[in-house]
């Protein structure tokens, strides 16, 4: 990640938040006082008071309670902002949406709750280098807004091609894209035995690579590029139920000819040697875009870290992990889940039975690809060493203050 400059206007953001919090505390005290007075007045009525007076008193109390709750919501909104958040920040190349969220918010996954879209700006959810993120007042609560940066182009006698601006990604794309081109998951409805496969190389080699040709048995329905895959890990839940089959990308090829029931594939790239029996399938469409925002799931999600592709035992920041929760569980790209480190397994001093101690929240993972029952996520934060089997769940801001 490129070094960044915070562009902080010293003192303004802290003073602004201090003023807002002071105003909120005053409103809360005033509402509490009025509520107490109303309750006192209610108690002062004798039991023979007229019905319409009781109705007025009940209505007043209800209004005051609603006001008190609203004041609490405003205060909660203010707590989302970091104490050291800049008043303005100019986005630079190399930033990610997660990085920027972390500059302003105590919890980056709360971004949608404070992001204020300007309808006068084209594609306001896309943020580009040179844009300015600012703290604003939105009806008495702090929010974040966007000032679109202006491209400065120097004119010269020569005609120059101006590169198209690229929006900042939600997370480090170089890590994720490299992974997505090499891994995919298929579910139980996908029959591997029915897929086309390599039967031989073009020159009777046992293994082949880029520049070689291979013969494929099975129907290739269209011209163009195909992926060559080899079965990897089979994912199962704690009860042994099938969740998904991982496929490892070996390379890519282009259909060059058909000869009876066989097709000839020219190998364009190879990450490993291509062997007889390797599967040939249409390339998976990579749906990762810079448009999804870090956010919590809309519903409660419970799951575990299934595996770390590549066989790593201990997990840290920017490691890709497989989770046993997918689209059927409500998990989508952009969802952020808290990771709970498994509690230590100890022995009961009396019964000698194994006892698992409670777990502790130890990190955050952001989902970037979800399948039916499995998802891939990138660990964005880890303050402890994580392992396969650690629990993941919908984050809660109160529990996660320990991560700061």
Q: Does the pLDDT value for residue 74 go beyond 70?
A: no
Q: Does the pLDDT value for residue 335 go beyond 90?
A: yes
What DSSP state is assigned to residue 164? P
Domains of the chain are: 1-151 (no CATH), 182-282 (2.40.10), 302-403 (2.40.10.410)
pTM of the complete model: 0.72
pLDDT at 235: 94
What is the percent of the chain with per-residue pLDDT over 70, rounded to a whole number? 73
pLDDT at 401: 42
List CB contacts of 342: < 8 A, sequence separation 6 or more: 356, 359, 387, 389, 390, 391
Question: Mean pLDDT over all residues of the chain?
Answer: 79
pLDDT tier for residue 71 given thresholds of 50, 70 and 90: very low
| Residues 369 and 244 sit within 8 Å (Cβ to Cβ) | no
Q: Does the pLDDT value for residue 399 go beyond 80?
A: no
Q: Does the pLDDT value for residue 115 go beyond 70?
A: yes
Cα 252 to Cα 179, 221, 249: the distances in Å are: 15, 16, 8
Cα 167 to Cα 43, 93, 111: the distances in Å are: 61, 9, 17
- Residues 53-69: tens digit of each pLDDT: 544 544 544 444 444 44
pLDDT tier for residue 310 given thresholds of 50, 70 and 90: confident
pLDDT tier for residue 325 given thresholds of 50, 70 and 90: very high
Structure token pair of residue 395: 């984050």
Q: Residue range 2-27: average pLDDT?
A: 45
Q: How far apart are CA 38 and CA 36, in angstroms?
A: 5
Q: Does the pLDDT value for residue 126 go beyond 90?
A: no
pLDDT tier for residue 327 given thresholds of 50, 70 and 90: very high
pLDDT at 141: 87
Q: How far apart are CA 320 and CA 99, in angstroms?
A: 18
- Residues 214-244: tens digit of each pLDDT: 999 998 988 889 999 999 999 999 899 999 9
Q: Does the pLDDT value for residue 130 go beyond 70?
A: yes
């Amino acid at each position: 990640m490129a070094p960044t400059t915070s562009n902080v206007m010293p003192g303004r953001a802290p003073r602004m938040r201090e003023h807002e919090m002071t105003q909120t505390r005053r409103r809360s005290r005033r509402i509490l006082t009025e509520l107490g007075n109303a309750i006192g007045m209610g108690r002062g009525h004798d039991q023979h008071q007229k019905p319409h007076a009781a109705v007025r008193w009940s209505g007043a109390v209800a209004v005051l309670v609603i006001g008190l709750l609203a004041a609490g919501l405003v205060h909660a909104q203010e707590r989302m902002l970091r104490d050291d958040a800049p008043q303005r920040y100019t986005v630079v190349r190399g930033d990610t949406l997660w990085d920027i969220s972390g500059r302003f918010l105590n919890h980056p996954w709360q971004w949608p709750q404070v992001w204020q879209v300007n309808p006068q700006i084209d594609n306001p959810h896309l943020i580009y280098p040179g844009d300015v993120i600012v703290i604003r007042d939105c009806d008495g609560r702090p929010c974040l807004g966007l000032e679109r940066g202006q491209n400065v182009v120097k004119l010269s006698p020569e005609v120059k091609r101006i590169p198209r601006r690229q929006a900042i990604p939600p997370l480090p794309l170089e890590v994720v894209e490299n992974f997505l081109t090499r891994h995919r998951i298929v579910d139980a409805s996908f029959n591997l035995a029915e897929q086309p496969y390599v039967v031989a190389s073009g020159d009777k080699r046992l293994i082949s690579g880029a520049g070689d040709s291979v013969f494929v048995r099975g129907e290739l329905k269209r011209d163009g590029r195909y992926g060559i895959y080899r079965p990897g890990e089979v994912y199962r839940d704690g009860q042994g139920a099938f969740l998904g089959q991982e496929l490892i990308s070996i390379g890519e090829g282009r259909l060059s000819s058909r000869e009876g029931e066989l097709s000839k594939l020219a190998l364009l790239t190879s990450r490993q040697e291509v062997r007889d029996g390797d599967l040939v399938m249409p390339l998976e469409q990579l749906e990762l875009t810079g448009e999804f925002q870090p956010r919590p799931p809309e519903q409660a999600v419970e799951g575990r870290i299934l595996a770390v592709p590549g066989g790593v035992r201990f997990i840290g920041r920017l490691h890709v992990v497989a989770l046993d929760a997918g689209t059927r569980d409500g998990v989508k790209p952009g969802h952020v889940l808290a990771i709970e480190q498994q509690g230590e397994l100890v022995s009961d001093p009396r019964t000698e039975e194994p006892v698992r101690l409670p777990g502790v929240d130890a990190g955050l993972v952001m989902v970037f690809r979800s399948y039916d029952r499995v998802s891939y996520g990138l660990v964005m934060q880890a303050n402890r060493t994580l392992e396969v089997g650690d629990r993941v769940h919908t984050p809660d801001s109160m529990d996660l203050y320990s991560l700061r």
